[in-house]
Amino acid sequence: MRALAGAALLALYPEPWRGRYGEEMRALMDDDPPTLAGLASLLVGAARAHVRPGGSWRARATPHTLMRLSVGGTFCCWMALSVAGVSFQKETEEATYAAAERQHWPLAVGHGAVMAGAALGACAIAYGGVPLLWLALRRAWSTADRRLALLLGLAPAAVAAFALLTRVVMWLAPANVDHTSTPAKLALLLPWYAGGAACVAVCALAPRAVMARSQPPLQTLRRATAAGRVLVVAMLLVTTGLAVYVATLATTSPQLSGESGGPIWPSTGLTLGAAWGLAFASTALARVAAARAVRAARLATSA
């Protein structure tokens, strides 16, 4: 079972890495099934291989593959940022926040920047991501590729499963959350958070798997690379907007910033701060991935 989990985590490593070390690592895990710490080491190792790719195993990949991986990485970061965006939207949807924005213009500017970034990002996804999806759908249909069809269905299935989990949690939740003990809240919320994280992970990773299977042509990848650059600008807008909003809320409206940000979160300020941290990290990673895609596109052109 642990060897199986290890093999599943291997899928998180970059494709050229798996081509070079995958079989050996599987053999090692058959001989020595990983413990929980071992599984965590695979997660950390996969993240490190993506962020700081080595020379020898990466050199085995073609520019086309590198381009596809980097484009997938940029889209993956956008998914992570979307979580921060949704948290921001949920936290600030009440009328008191709109009133505070009317009183303090930097709050309105921050909110506007987040919204503008979200809209720009959606346009970039439509420009670069939709052709990739359309190509994969056509390929799955024309070649009757069941595996590709399955991969295409993963993200919608994950969203549907999470929506179902949300309904179950809401049905089980007591009427008065304020009078519920923290362990009881955690018992309900931790599976929900875990489900949410799993849903985001599937939605972030499924496009990479779809692209690996459908092998989009260079032209479509070039378009996606251009979209990736726009996506980074959109993410910068969102991150800057969040920073302005969080800082202004803390200084001008400490009572709003300090009020409970959810059943277990101590405050709205902390939730928004965490959202900003996630947005910052995903934007930094997206910038690296987008730059790599551009370099790979140049290599592909000169090859």
Partner 1 sequence: MTNDPAVLVLSSLAGGEKHGYAIVQDVEQMTGVHLAPGTLYGALARLEDERLIEALPASGRRRPYRITGAGARALESQLQTLANLASVGLARLQAATA
**Site residues for partner 1 per CB under 8 A:** 6, 17, 20-21, 23-29, 31-32, 34-35, 37-38, 40-46, 48-49, 54-57
Question: In the complex, what is the shortest distance from the CB of residue 51 to partner 1, in angstroms, rounded to a whole number?
Answer: 12
Two tokens, residue 43: 């997660």
Question: In the complex, what is the shortest distance from the CB of residue 23 to partner 1, in angstroms, rounded to a whole number?
Answer: 5
The region, left, alpha or beta by phi > 0 then psi within -120 to 50, assigned to residue 148 is alpha
**In terms of Cα–Cα distance, which of 114, 44, 112 is closest to 84?**
114
Write the CA distances from 231 to 66, 88, 205, integer angstroms: 18, 19, 17
Measure the CA–CA gap between 229 and 67, rounded to whole angstroms.
Answer: 13
Residue among 48 and 167 whose Cβ is closer to partner 1:
48
Residue among 37 and 144 whose Cβ is closer to partner 1:
37
Write the CA distances from 165 to 61, 154, 174, 192, integer angstroms: 40, 16, 16, 7
Residue among 27 and 186 whose Cβ is closer to partner 1:
27
Measure the CA–CA gap between 21 and 25, rounded to whole angstroms.
Answer: 6
Question: In the complex, what is the shortest distance from the CB of residue 6 to partner 1, in angstroms, rounded to a whole number?
Answer: 7
Residue among 50 and 287 whose Cβ is closer to partner 1:
50
Residue among 25 and 296 whose Cβ is closer to partner 1:
25
Question: In the complex, what is the shortest distance from the CB of residue 206 to partner 1, in angstroms, rounded to a whole number?
Answer: 23
Measure the CA–CA gap between 206 and 184, rounded to whole angstroms.
Answer: 33
Question: In the complex, what is the shortest distance from the CB of residue 11 to partner 1, in angstroms, rounded to a whole number?
Answer: 13
Helical pair 63-91 and 105-124, crossing angle rounded to 10 deg: 140
Instruction: Assign 3-class secondary structure to 205-229.
Output: HHHHHHHHHHCCCHHHHHHHHHHHH
Residue among 41 and 267 whose Cβ is closer to partner 1:
41
Question: In the complex, what is the shortest distance from the CB of residue 16 to partner 1, in angstroms, rounded to a whole number?
Answer: 11
DSSP codes, 69-102: HHHHHHHHHHHHHHHHHHHHHHHT-SHHHHHHHH
Residue among 48 and 147 whose Cβ is closer to partner 1:
48
210 and 151 in contact (C-beta within 8 Å)? Answer: yes
Residue among 53 and 263 whose Cβ is closer to partner 1:
53
Question: In the complex, what is the shortest distance from the CB of residue 46 to partner 1, in angstroms, rounded to a whole number?
Answer: 7
Q: What is the CA radius of gyration of the chain?
A: 21
Question: In the complex, what is the shortest distance from the CB of residue 205 to partner 1, in angstroms, rounded to a whole number?
Answer: 17
